[in-house]
Structure 1
Amino acid sequence: MPKADAESPQAPVDPRLLRYASASRGFFVAIAAIALAQTVVIVAFAWLLTRAITSAIDGMPVAELAPTLGWLAAVVAVRAALLWAREAVAARAAARVQTQLRSALVAAVGALGPEWLAARGSASLAITAGRGLDALEAYFGRYLPQLVQTVVATPLILVVMWWQDWISGLTVLLTLPLIPVFMVLIGLATRSVQQRQWQTLQHLASRFADTVQGLSTLKVFGRQHRAAASVERVTDQYRRETMRVLRVSFLSGFTLEFLASISVAIVAVSIGFRLIDGALTLAVGLFVLLLAPEAYLPLRQVGVQFHAAAEGVAATEDVFAVLDAARASKGSAAGSADSHSPVPEPHPAVPELVEGRLVVRDLRVHRGGGMLPPLSFSARPGTVTLLEGPSGAGKSSVFAALRGAAAFDGTAELGGADVRALAPSQWLAWAGQQPGLLAGTIAGNVTLGDPAPDTAAVSRALDLACAQALDPALELGVQGAGLSGGQAQRVAVARAIYRHLRGLAPVVALDEPSSALDAQTEARLWRGIRSLADEGATVLLISHRTSARAIADTVVHLEPSEVPA
């Protein structure tokens, strides 16, 4: 996934937030209005408190002080209400922005296609869409409101102080820039360590997902302990990065508090000396002294809350990178169309392709830094086309190209339509070497993506896939937990067959569907696949088993010498 430079300067608010999350626009308007009201309340509170104290010192009776104290209590209540309103607005905005960005992220991944996704870690993308966007709550709930409060409140309070006592106003004006200077320096350090922590978390997620996925293989070869040790090392690295972030956060908080305290102390000393020599009245001095901390507070809190929001900021950068890539891809596709690119524009609907022939001519799949040798074959409805050859010859890469997960040169047409102009889900039913099952029932896995599941078709698909003994209502765990490897593989094959039976895919592509089956079950599976083809399906089959030749109408052999070194 693209990463921003950890040392590059960053605007307080990324303009792309307003572009990709429309809910943030109304949030800024509402939070600015609340910040203005809070500033007025702060000034009113300082003035009323000053009046109450000076009146009490002058000996004013309690009865005459009652209205001032009443107004003071009302101002305190209004200030509390405004704080509640700010929290409520921020929480609602954060929830809406999270929803919008997640939806935009899913749409962007869909637009970029499986080829783009295959080159990136799905685990790190899941972390970004999950925990990363969840961290926006701190960004919207603490950092952005405090940032707006600084922009609105600090200048207004400074103007009021200057109006009442220009010396105190000038002191604040001269000392105030010290806080932003240190904030920038601290922010650069914080951003760097936060980015490293975020990248380590994504690395940990990817490593853990890969380890769990290959755990059975690792256990067979006695390498599970080494894999566990690797995950433990990354976890320990994440712990160290987290502690480094906390250390920087605490030190920066101390620094900002120290600077603000020193600045307020300078104002207080100046007021004290002028009160002694009579150059300043008690009312003005107390009023300005009460406002001085409020002038520094918003800016100080921005620095403090930046750390709480840093994880959300890092996640949004990853999300924006994906959304920018989708926009660039869309613009590139439009530009390619204008320049007569050989890649056609997507069709709004799939034509009647069930009787169409799949024709592949000089297909060269991009793999790594090179390309596989050209491959040509033709598969018509009612036939089984077998792709065979040693491991690494590029058989699965051909399937990846057809389903849009790998780039290729040459042509691949179905019924005269370029397959690159069609969504794979509209014409291809595919079962890969990894079953890719989800938590839920077996029936739910078989009918995945069908808005109106057909119970009879589920039973037929399971029967053709030699999985009729499995209960469609059986609940599975994550990644199909509860089934053996062979059973999970047959459910995946049944899912592909079901899509064809429902008329959703004229072509069925099966990648090593019998690799985990015994000879007897494999023979039954071949018979099921043959009967599916006899009923009109275009079947593409990859298998190392020589027994697959018995049901094949066409055999396409890939030699190991054809794979570039």
Structure 2
Amino acid sequence: MRPFDPRLLRYASAARWFLSVGALLGLAQTVIVIAFSWLLSQSITLAVTGASQTDLASTTAALAGVVVVRAALVWLLEVAATRGAAQVKSQLRRQVLERVSERGPDWLSIRASAGVSTLVTQGLDALDNYFARYLPQLLLAGISTPLLILVMLWQDLPSGITVIVVLPFIPVFMVLIGQATQSVQRRQWESLQRLSTGFLDLVGGLGTLKIYGRDRRQFARVRTITEDYRARTMKVLRVSFLSGFVLELVASLSVALVAVSIGLRLVDGSLALGVGLFVLLLAPEAFLPVRQVGAQFHAAADGLAAAEEVFAILDETETETETETETETETATGAAPAEPRAASTPAAAPAGRGHADAGALRFEHVSIRRGTDAPVHDFSAVFRPGELTVVVGPSGAGKSTLVAALQGFIPFDGRILLNGVEQTPGTPRPWLAWAGQRPGLFQGTIADNLALGDASVDRGTVTRSLECAGADDLDPATMLGVAGEGLSGGQAQRVAAARALYRAETHDCAVVVLDEPSSALDEAAEGTLVAGLHRLATRGRIVIVVSHRPALRDAADQIVALSEVAHV
């Protein structure tokens, strides 16, 4: 765990702003500290030597002014740190969410979604301590300490040399303590993620556990994970308090060495009182930033651990993008791709349509590779407006993979064109409405679920969409619980299909894709949904359904069949 990760500057421009402002404020604060120490030592010297009240009053007034300025600079540094932390957190959260959106559910399925949620919420919130406490002290250690040592060398060479000799002991202890803290903090962060993931899994499967009478057995599991997190948190606190004590002890002994040296030379008259007081006041200030860096490192450890995971996600996607670019370059220069293990082929698309294919969605020699497998290889097909197309094929033939490529969530070779315009991975799809195999409903009314992401709800469109999806028996004002609680499986599936139909109408989407929309529906509900999809297609939209159901196959205007073909 590095004290400062340069990737923070690359992914958060607000961090560069904060470092610039923090460096200027740190320099000004150092100058004020020097002025404060000088004026205070002069005030004491004047009072001891019996100077006039006029001279003493002017020096005291200047000292009071310096105190006010110093307080203002400390306040400004805290304000800059707070605003910098808020902006950096917003920028990092936005980039992580953009990456999740770009990579899609296929990428998120290989990561713990609860861990990602914890990371972008509570994890990044820990950056407040990093910016408000740790980073300002790190800046002061790099700016203030060297300047103060130079002033001490200029005023009293022995004291300056003493500080230079003893100062490195603090970083040595910081490194040793930091290594222990890093290990403890990392385990504590992993324990928090296990707690979050385990609790989310428990809530998601609570219905199944209760049916099988295994719900009470989870009490012990949750208690064990919670106790583990509590114990690790207390261990982190013990290490933090112990390290703080060690750093304070080392710094106090170092200042004591300077004080003893100055005291002895004041007694024998080899050092002036004003100079001795000035250097003695500067000595703690020279040690303070370095000491605070070690003490505040523990407060910032949570934020640093979370930031490292954020950078890992962002670096991972950048590496994948570079790899894809290199692969495309090799293909363009004639490098032969590896032979796929599996392939998929569609039913032959009708040829010779000419201008009739205007506005069509085209797949031209699309291949999708995942590791060493190629679930989709050299796929070509045409999906036309006004037609209901059903994509069929055995499990593993690449149907869902093909939909993910259409959504732009995964990279592919070949071309996908809509009305002659090429659609590339990772770009927005405002022309697409989609309903997946999982309904993906949230807490709120059915109408709010249909108008997902819209600023307002069109009540008329909600009613029509529910009717087309065969869900006209549901009241749009019905309040649902978490994950659509309150609906049966078939009802939830119809609401998800209605959401795609709602988006298609309100956003004028040219393409509507439904993945297994009738797997939980009875024959009557399925017939209503099929009729609604036909009406949607007759309005000039491209309707694509992935399904194994005979009713949808029989109603299709076009069937695209995917099949597994082994290459020898």
TM-score, shorter chain, exceeding 0.5: yes
Q: Map 1:104-503; keep pairs closer than 5 Å.
A: 104-227=95-218, 229-341=220-332, 355-356=359-360, 366=370, 370-372=373-375, 380=384, 381-385=386-390, 387=392, 396-405=400-409, 423=427, 425-449=429-453, 454-502=458-506
The aligned residue for residue 341 of structure 2 is none
353-362 vs 167-176, which moves further: 353-362
Give a deviation string over 1:75-126, Cα, whole Å, max 9, x none: 2222111111111111122222222222333333344455433432333222
The aligned residue for residue 87 of structure 2 is 96
Once the 2 structures are TM-superposed, how far is the Cα of residue 446 of structure 1 from its aligned partner?
1.6
Tell me, yes or no, if the aligned pair for 1:138 and 1:309 is still in contact at 8 Å: yes
Question: Which amino acid is 1:356 matched to?
Answer: A
Tell me, yes or no, if the aligned pair for 2:441 and 2:496 is still in contact at 8 Å: yes
Cα distance 1:357–1:393, how it changes in 2: closer, same or farther (>3 A)?
Answer: closer
What is the alpha-carbon distance in structure 1 between the residues aligned to residue 212 and residue 562 of structure 2? 29
TM-score by length of 1: 0.83
What is the alpha-carbon distance in structure 2 between the residues aligned to residue 111 and residue 445 of structure 1? 22
The aligned residue for residue 518 of structure 2 is 514
Cα distance 1:337–1:409, how it changes in 2: closer, same or farther (>3 A)?
Answer: closer
Give a deviation string over 1:162-195, Cα, whole Å, max 9, x none: 2222111111110000001111121222222222
What is the alpha-carbon distance in structure 1 between the residues aligned to residue 31 and residue 40 of structure 2? 14
The aligned residue for residue 58 of structure 2 is 67
Question: Which amino acid is 2:74 matched to?
Answer: L
The aligned residue for residue 5 of structure 1 is none
Question: Which amino acid is 1:85 matched to?
Answer: L
Q: Map 1:34-45; keep pairs closer than 5 Å.
A: 34-45=25-36
Once the 2 structures are TM-superposed, how far is the Cα of residue 356 of structure 1 from its aligned partner?
2.0
195-204 vs 37-46, which moves further: 195-204
Give a deviation string over 1:380-414, Cα, whole Å, max 9, x none: 5423415365x777654554454345567788776
Q: Which runs of 5+ in 1 are unaligned?
A: 1-8, 343-350
Once the 2 structures are TM-superposed, how far is the Cα of residue 245 of structure 1 from its aligned partner?
1.7
Question: Which amino acid is 1:479 matched to?
Answer: A
User: SS of 2:70's equivalent?
Assistant: helix
Once the 2 structures are TM-superposed, how far is the Cα of residue 261 of structure 1 from its aligned partner?
0.9
Cα distance 1:362–1:174, how it changes in 2: closer, same or farther (>3 A)?
Answer: closer
182-191 vs 547-556, which moves further: 547-556
What is the alpha-carbon distance in structure 1 between the residues aligned to residue 80 and residue 226 of structure 2? 36
What is the alpha-carbon distance in structure 2 between the residues aligned to residue 80 and residue 424 of structure 1? 50
User: SS of 2:429's equivalent?
Assistant: helix
Give a deviation string over 1:521-555, Cα, whole Å, max 9, x none: 34433443344445555444445655555534566
Once the 2 structures are TM-superposed, how far is the Cα of residue 485 of structure 1 from its aligned partner?
3.8
490-499 vs 526-535, which moves further: 526-535
Cα distance 1:395–1:142, how it changes in 2: closer, same or farther (>3 A)?
Answer: same
User: How many residue pairs are counted as aligned between the two chains?
Assistant: 545
Cα distance 1:293–1:503, how it changes in 2: closer, same or farther (>3 A)?
Answer: closer
370-379 vs 63-72, which moves further: 370-379
What is the alpha-carbon distance in structure 1 between the residues aligned to residue 311 and residue 290 of structure 2? 27
549-558 vs 479-488, which moves further: 549-558
Cα distance 1:461–1:228, how it changes in 2: closer, same or farther (>3 A)?
Answer: farther
User: SS of 1:486's equivalent?
Assistant: helix
What is the alpha-carbon distance in structure 1 between the residues aligned to residue 160 and residue 13 of structure 2? 39
Cα distance 1:554–1:226, how it changes in 2: closer, same or farther (>3 A)?
Answer: farther
What is the alpha-carbon distance in structure 2 between the residues aligned to residue 363 and residue 110 of structure 1? 22
User: SS of 1:284's equivalent?
Assistant: helix
What is the alpha-carbon distance in structure 2 between the residues aligned to residue 233 and residue 530 of structure 1? 54
Q: CA RMSD in A?
A: 3.7
Q: Map 1:547-562; keep pairs closer than 5 Å.
A: 548-552=552-556
Give a deviation string over 1:411-465, Cα, whole Å, max 9, x none: 8776677765585734543222321123444333223355786543322111111
Tell me, yes or no, if the aligned pair for 2:152 and 2:279 is still in contact at 8 Å: yes
